[in-house]
Chains A and B, each alone.
Chain A
């Protein structure tokens, strides 16, 4: 169990900076997700922590000790690979035992540890099988068992669930979370699936073009994204552009709305975001009045996307389109062409830099 500090780490391939001045700290026992689009440097960062790749500059410390020059096999870091990378010529038990045997453990100790960890990943009866006789989810568990049986200081997972189908993925997310809590190892999980990151991790770091755009707790990043990229990459967001005039925000479509609560800006251009589920929809002139402090924008329903328990509306507001999500229990379904008023609490409006 350990704390990992990445400081000003850079790594370039040719003149392309795969990881560009990244600083992030992974606290002891935390479950971190690194999230970012393809090519954003997630794997490269992970491989540098693992020791397969070395930074051009910057430092990586594990429990305070610099490890940049320590080879991968001396770092005591467990890794789960996207394609599992199980040794095809060894049985499941032999795969799991490999790391223990390499570190010099023998016989009974190895067998006990192997059967314990196989029980932990619920594969107690599969020790004798070969990897090719397992399903994708089972291979995934073996890979995890093999990585944690050596009691690594840090567990790294590079898109470990991306090869699984949706249902299995959800199950495995729960499993992973349970096992991580049980073992308590500092875990860094790379994914480009935002839902996965949100549901599984205690902390999320968002990468873009080799840089950390934002990091923090899932709720924090979701509710307070600091950039348009963070707002739209993690979840959906309506982006509103406008000008600050007399303490209010005049949107480019003409509507005037209240400034975000935490905004201190007094003039000039401003870009804000509002989550679709924070936008309330009502039929215009339905009689109900907007709450005081709420902002109202008028528009016309253009499209409706039905998703079972909720509907997603695209509303045309004077040329710009806003998305709104309505729970179907709370609101009547609105027909296309309905004149609506959109409102939101100004606390939910997010100022973007």
Chain B
């Protein structure tokens, strides 16, 4: 569809009243707190009545290699969770969008987005009941398998991954579903009549057309998982020490808000750098 410049500016003028609440809210909810955080991150201390400004908090990141190690660990975790979500979420979305019709689709859709409706803390704690020794997974596996196994995933890296995948999978399913849904079934029929097998169709028609959805889902997952702290803390135990938990510690346990804020901004910078690096790929897909 060609949109002339005329109608575009007109549209913008008309849309302005509609956009204002959103921008107002964004200013309040993001810009102001963010500015406050910038200010905090430059303070020497929170407690003093006359704090002075410093860059020491940022320097701290570079002076102790632990932060970088943890950040790298968080990036790896985010990549892993993201990839697992693609591997599980894309086929699920495909089945949902292209195979199920009517009632069955609605029912399964509900199951997929159900995690959104439950409190995230409840969700994470319920995983702890499943994963711990003598927990549901342990009992069920022992009931099925002829030999004795002892399953205790609690307080481990896999537990963190499982919890995070569970929390963020719906994003992937939804974004993939939307882009798959938009693919005309006639395209698939056309490819079939031209002799393409199912895998060829998936590779040459469906995957390229669904790529924007996969990328959007990946970004939606990658960004929050890098900074995640709740799942790692509750399910990870000692194995769950990550960049996000360290930041959280600064705010809730150590009360070193300036350091926490500085570490947060470094994370933000890293995320932006990664997105920027991926921009050419993203642009090509869109």
Contact = CB atoms under 8 A, between A and B. Distances in A.
Given A85-B184, A99-B195, A52 B200 contact: no
A82 B194 CA distance: 16
Nearest to B285: A89
A103 B184 contact: no
B160 to A, nearest CB: 37
Interface stretch (A17-25, A72-80, A251-259): A72-80
Interface string A32-74: 0000000000000000001110000000000000000001111
Contacts of A75: 193
Nearest to A76: B195
B209 interface: yes
B200 A102 contact: yes
B193 A77 contact: yes
B205 A73 contact: no
Contacts of B208: 89
A186 interface: no
Contact of B194 (A52, A89, A150): A150
Contact of B195 (A85, A88, A102): A102
Given A76-B195, A83-B184, A98 B204 contact: yes
Contacts of A76: 195
B191 interface: yes
B195 A73 contact: yes
B209 A88 contact: yes
A186 to B, nearest CB: 15
Contacts of B192: 51-52, 71-73
B193 A72 contact: yes
Interface in B196-238: 196-197, 200, 204-205, 208-209
A103 B195 contact: yes
Given A72-B189, A81-B186, A87 B195 contact: no
B186 A87 contact: no
Nearest to B208: A89
A150 B204 CA distance: 18
B189 A98 contact: no
A83 B195 contact: no
A98 B196 CA distance: 9
Instruction: Name the prevailing secondary structure of the B interface residues.
Output: helix
Given A98-B204, A102-B200, A87 B187 contact: yes
Interface in B169-194: 184, 186-187, 189-194
B194 A85 contact: no
B186 A85 contact: yes
B206 to A, nearest CB: 11
Contacts of B194: 73, 78, 98-99, 102, 146-147, 150
A52 B189 contact: yes
Q: Which residue among B186, B195, B196, B204 has the maximum number of chain A CB atoms within 10 Å of its CB?
A: B195
A98 B195 CA distance: 9
A87 B197 contact: no
Contacts of A150: 194-195
A50 B193 contact: yes
A135 to B, nearest CB: 13
A74 B198 CA distance: 12
A52 B209 CA distance: 22
Contact of B187 (A72, A82, A85): A85
A257 B192 CA distance: 58
Contact of A73 (B184, B197, B204, B209): B197
A294 B284 CA distance: 75
B240 to A, nearest CB: 41
Contacts of B204: 98
Nearest to B184: A85
Nearest to A98: B194
A4 B208 CA distance: 36
Contacts of A83: 184, 186
Contacts of B187: 85, 87
A31 B190 CA distance: 21
B285 to A, nearest CB: 10
A87 B193 contact: no
B195 to A, nearest CB: 5
Nearest to B209: A89
B197 A79 contact: no
Contacts of A50: 189, 193
Contacts of A87: 187, 190-191, 205
Contact of B190 (A51, A85, A89, A103): A85
A172 to B, nearest CB: 19
Interface string A247-267: 000000000000000000000
Given A83-B186, A87-B205, A98 B191 contact: yes
A24 B192 CA distance: 25
Contacts of A86: 190
Contacts of A98: 191, 194, 196, 204
Given A88-B209, A89-B208, A81 B189 contact: yes
16 contacts: A50-B189, A73-B194, A73-B197, A76-B195, A82-B186, A83-B184, A83-B186, A87-B187, A87-B205, A88-B209, A98-B194, A98-B204, A102-B195, A102-B196, A147-B194, A150-B194
The 4 closest A-B pairs by CB, nearest first: A99-B194, A85-B186, A85-B190, A79-B193
Interface of A: 50-52, 71-79, 81-83, 85-89, 98-99, 102-103, 146-147, 150
Given A75-B193, A102-B197, 14 more contacts: A51-B193, A71-B192, A72-B189, A72-B192, A73-B196, A78-B194, A79-B190, A81-B186, A85-B186, A85-B187, A89-B208, A146-B190, A147-B193, A150-B195
